[in-house]
């Protein structure tokens, strides 16, 4: 098993290994073994959020969540699933500062879409669950977070969006989860209805 390091927004949240324990249940979970990850800083995908179209429309998602990646848009948590794969495709972005894609995270609603584009694949996730957590709540990166996937269920493709809250501090994290609802194969953007 690769001991991938997951760094939490670089705002005072400690890094954890890919065998992160659940902060709430005291159980151990593991991220599926992956033989290779994208190079840190490389573009993993792009993201579109119709409700946040003014800030999140074709934003790059870079591998890793270090300061230099988040300064350019979204960062993908090393060791979490890739778009469309079973498990948790976890990404983070700033809420304040020059590059703040999730500035308006408070505008998101259940049922909103998060569209992730990678290659010729368009992954449509539907937001289902939101929560404010403390920075120590590392279970949010689990392949099947307990409030999104029922206990004992097989992990399915989900997306996690994370940013700091309140907007002017980093004392808590605002989380949105969504489940994969559709995949479209196309070299051009599909119609977004």
Secondary structure letter of residue 32 according to DSSP: P
Q: What is the pLDDT of residue 168?
A: 78
Residue-level pLDDT at 9: 35
Tally of CA atoms within 13 A in the half-sphere of 53 that contains its CB: 4
* Positions in the chain short of pLDDT 70: 1-37, 193
Distance CA 67, CA 73 (A): 10
Q: What span, in angstroms and rounded, lies between the C-alpha atoms of 135 and 141?
A: 12
DSSP designation for 148:
T
| Interatomic CA distance for residues 20 and 3, integer angstroms | 10
The count of residues in the chain is 193
């Amino acid at each position: 098993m690769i001991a991938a390091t997951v760094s939490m927004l670089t705002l005072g949240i400690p890094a954890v290994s890919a065998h992160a324990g659940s902060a709430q249940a005291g159980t151990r979970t593991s991220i599926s073994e992956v033989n290779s990850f994208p190079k840190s800083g490389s573009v993993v995908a792009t993201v579109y959020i119709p409700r946040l179209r003014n800030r999140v429309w074709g934003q790059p998602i870079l591998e890793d969540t270090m300061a230099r990646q988040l300064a350019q848009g979204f960062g993908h948590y090393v060791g979490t699933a890739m778009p469309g794969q079973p498990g948790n495709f976890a990404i983070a972005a700033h809420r304040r500062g020059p590059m703040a894609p999730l500035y308006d995270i408070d505008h998101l609603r259940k049922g909103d879409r998060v569209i992730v584009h990678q290659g010729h694949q368009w992954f449509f996730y539907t937001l289902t669950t939101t929560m404010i957590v403390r920075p120590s709540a590392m279970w949010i990166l689990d392949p099947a977070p307990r409030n999104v996937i029922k206990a004992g269920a097989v992990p399915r493709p989900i997306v996690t969006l994370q940013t700091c809250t309140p907007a002017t501090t980093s004392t808590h994290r605002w989380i949105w989860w969504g489940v994969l609802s559709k995949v479209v194969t196309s070299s051009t953007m599909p119609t977004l209805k």
